[in-house]
Amino acid sequence: MDTFVENFHLRQCVERMQYVPFGRTGMKVSKVSFGTGTFSQLYGNLDETKALEAVKYAVQRGINYIDTAPFYGQGRSEEVLGKALRNIPRKAYYVATKVGRYEREFDRMFDYSAKKTRESVERSLQLLGLGYIDVVQIHDVEFAPSLDIVVNETLPALEALRAEGKIRFIGVSAYPLAVLKQIISKAPGRFDTVLSYCRNTLFDDSLKEYIPFFEEHKLGIICASGHGMGLLTNGGPQPWHPAGQQMKDVCHEAAERCVKAGVELGKLAMHHTVQMQGPATFLVGMQTPALVEINLDAFFNGLSNKELTVLQYLKER
């Protein structure tokens, strides 16, 4: 395994982890990957010490793909991740960040210009403390004034940064799957990875119909947020969550059922999401070693009979 480092990794965990070819990049990524959207105010108060421990804990156990973005805490996520990476050999992980989405106020949130794209990557390198970034993704392209701006400004700026050796691969993310298909069709062969989130969960399986298209374009597929950005957890979503009330009520009812049964809905959601064929990696937000453990347990050991019974009950209803 390309990212294995003797005397750093726990060999028995790394041997159990599945590593999957990441599109045409030549990278092999762990089936479970580490999301750091949680390293920001988006998911409540962050215990930085635990967050730093969580990154090391995850990488030692074989997770080799870590995702961040300037939007997560307006640089906070990248800064905290950068601190964590200082204690981890560079060979042991791949890191991905994003461009295009930045501030919390909506009128300043998005900027897909070439100038901002370059400034953003330079800042990410600085915050992460790295000489190069493995993947830079164009964040939530559905919010660009037009997809032409992405093709004519954002993408060429990233291609120039790649030629300078500052980034290795280029990706794209969005919530509407049709928009992902549109942008990939507009710029064939220019994207290496695609990130789709909340589209392979207990309440939405629409990603599966797009998998053949992404595979045809030889993209590394990242399936993110099988927990529906917190909807499918016993703790429930954050106040800002964009889901409608009916969806929140249904997920709350599911969480209550899990609490009564003494199981974690998040673990059931994780188990469900990783069954999908096609994605190279399943990206999940984690900010403590305990959460890493729950997600790895769902992946390595599956579910107990009691957990399977509860999952079956939820699926039927």
- Active-site annotation, residues: 72
Query: Which residues have C-beta within 8 Å of that of residue 127, sequence separation ≥ 6?
Result: 75, 78, 79, 82
Task: Give one word for 286, left, alpha or beta, with left for phi > 0 and alpha for psi -120 to 50.
Answer: beta
Written as one letter, the residue type at 97 is: T
Residue 131 CA from chain centroid, whole number: 22
| Buried b / exposed e along 59-87 (16+ C-beta atoms within 10 A) | bbbbbbbbbbbbbbbebbbbbbbbbbbee
Comparing CA positions, the residue from 98, 288, 282, 92 lying closest to residue 196 is 282
Written as one letter, the residue type at 178 is: A
Token pair in block for residue 95: 């890191």
First to last CA, the chain: 42
Q: What long-range pairs does 242-251 form, CB within 8 A, spacing at least 24?
A: 247/203, 250/203, 251/203
Query: Which residues have C-beta within 8 Å of that of residue 91, sequence separation ≥ 6?
Result: 3, 5
The span from the CA of 230 to the CA of 245, in Å, is: 14
The span from the CA of 8 to the CA of 89, in Å, is: 8
DSSP state letters, 235-253: T---TT--S-HHHHHHHHH
C-alpha pair distances (Å), 77 with each of 33, 39, 81, 310:
16, 5, 6, 34
